[in-house]
């Protein structure tokens, strides 16, 4: 296999968003090349009974998924198994196409292994993304659909956007994620209140039997986040994804003063909030942890703290296409070291 450090030097010579488009082009090619795809899957994809779970009636052969934001338009799904991912999450999609925020809107900080983005839900719109999705669904790994409101939709009409998206994507995804936690759509995080969350999930559960999860931001006080999640669960949410990017700009020296930070700088903040959430919610709903996970040790700690699944995205930029395989291999080693026969025994072990 090629040396990713060499490729990384080339990619890092481009602006981050340009490098992302180059990566997308390469992954599209990979997804359509049977020989290369098969080779990469054999090398990176780990299917092991010790890691396999059934969650929401869906089979996950390994617990490491791709977080939303990477594959916004469902164009790279066919390559995700080649990168080792046990599931993938597309989006965030909005009802109407939107360009997102002005450029430059993505920044990388190699010393901190971190990324900052102010993309603003740039996507081709629900109609086009659904056409892409229909070409591959159902797929050999689970696919989640992450949905959000259009920037121009007033708060009082936000429910209508989510209703439209649920109706479109529920038949062509294995689970849905409500995104009201991105910092890059003005006033979106204002929807992180108990009244709206309750109305949203009551409406959503009346529309579909597919699992619907809430994704929350890492910048709330733990008690507020817990109350918000409880409201969602009481209204029918099937799980919680914690967390989205952070607007705590103290985490990276000389970073931009807009957009959300992700990557290694978020590890402690996201992990800490997840731990507090899990102490209250473990056993009451499915918990998925995301934010600063780029090695097996951190993934395993989140699992022991209550995560059934984890997600990784920014780490891929710095660690390359072997990252997910290494995470899964390390989880297997740590399971054996702790005397667990399978991942289910490790989930929430720190809470028992």
pLDDT tens sequence across 193-235:
999 999 999 999 999 999 999 999 999 999 999 999 999 999 9
Q: What digits encode the pLDDT tens for the residues 172-196?
A: 999 999 999 999 998 899 989 999 9
Residue whose pair of structure tokens reads 């990017």 in the numeric block: 245
Query: HSE on the CB side for 68, CA within 13 Å?
Result: 34
State yes or no: is 140 an active-site residue. no
The pair of structure tokens assigned to 268 is 């402690």
Q: DSSP character for 98?
A: B
CB 126 within 8 A of CB 165: yes
Query: What is the value of pTM for the model shown?
Result: 0.97
Distance CA 282, CA 261 (A): 27
Can you give the CATH number for the domain in which 95 is found? Answer: 3.20.20.70
Q: What digits encode the pLDDT tens for the residues 280-315?
A: 999 999 999 999 999 999 999 999 999 999 999 999
Q: What digits encode the pLDDT tens for the residues 88-100?
A: 999 999 999 999 9
Structural domain range at position 290 = 4-351
Distance CA 91, CA 26 (A): 19
Domain count, the chain: 1
> Which one from 182, 262, 308, 314 is the annotated catalytic residue?
182
- Give Cα 17 to chain centroid, integer Å: 18
State what percent of residues in the chain have pLDDT above 90.
97
Residue 260 scores a pLDDT above 80: yes
């Amino acid at each position: 296999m090629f040396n990713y450090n060499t490729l990384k030097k080339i990619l890092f010579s481009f602006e981050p968003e340009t490098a992302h488009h180059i990566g997308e082009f390469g992954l599209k090619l990979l997804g359509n090349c049977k020989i290369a795809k098969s080779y990469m899957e054999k090398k990176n994809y780990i299917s092991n009974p010790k890691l396999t779970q059934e969650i929401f009636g869906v089979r996950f052969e390994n617990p490491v998924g791709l977080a939303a934001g990477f594959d916004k338009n469902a164009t790279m799904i066919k390559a995700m198994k080649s990168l080792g991912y046990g599931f993938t999450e597309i989006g965030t999609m909005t009802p109407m196409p939107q360009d997102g925020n002005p450029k430059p809107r993505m920044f990388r900080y190699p010393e901190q292994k971190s990324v900052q983005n102010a993309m603003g839900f740039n996507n081709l719109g629900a109609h086009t993304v659904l056409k892409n999705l229909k070409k591959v669904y159902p797929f050999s790994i689970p696919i989640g659909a992450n949905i959000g409101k259009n920037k121009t939709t007033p708060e009082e009409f936000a429910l209508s956007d989510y209703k439209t998206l649920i109706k479109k994507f529920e038949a062509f995804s294995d689970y849905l994620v409500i995104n009201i936690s991105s910092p890059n759509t003005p006033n979106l995080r204002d929807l992180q209140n108990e009244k709206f969350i309750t109305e949203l999930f009551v409406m959503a559960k009346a529309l579909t039997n597919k699992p619907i999860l809430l994704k929350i931001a890492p910048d709330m006080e733990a008690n507020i986040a817990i109350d918000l999640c409880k409201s969602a669960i009481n209204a029918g949410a099937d799980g919680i994804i914690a967390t989205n990017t952070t607007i705590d700009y103290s985490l990276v020296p000389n970073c931009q003063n807009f957009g959300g930070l992700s990557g290694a700088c978020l590890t402690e903040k996201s992990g800490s909030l997840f731990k507090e959430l899990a102490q209250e919610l473990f056993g009451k709903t499915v918990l998925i942890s995301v934010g600063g996970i780029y090695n097996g040790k951190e993934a395993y700690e989140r699992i022991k703290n209550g995560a059934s699944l984890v997600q990784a995205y920014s780490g891929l930029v710095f660690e390359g296409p072997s990252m997910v395989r290494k995470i899964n291999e390390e989880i297997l080693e740590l399971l054996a070291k702790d005397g667990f026969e399978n991942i289910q025994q490790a989930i929430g072990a720190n809470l028992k």
